[in-house]
Amino acid sequence: MAKDYFLDDPNLDRVLKVVIALAREAYVTRDRMLLIEKKLNEQGILSSEQLDAFKPTDAEQREIEKNRDEFVATLLGPIIEK
Average pLDDT over residues 46-66: 96
Average pLDDT over residues 40-68: 96
pLDDT digits (tens, 9 = 90+) for 8-38: 788 888 888 888 888 998 999 999 999 999 9
Average pLDDT over residues 61-68: 97
Q: What is the pTM of this model?
A: 0.58
pLDDT for the residue numbered 57: 98
Rounded CA gap, 32 and 43, in Å? 17
pLDDT band at 66, cuts 50/70/90? very high
Helix (H, G, I), strand (E, B) or coil at 26: helix
Between the alpha carbon of residue 36 and those of residues 10, 51, 52, 64, the distances in Å are 39, 12, 14, 19
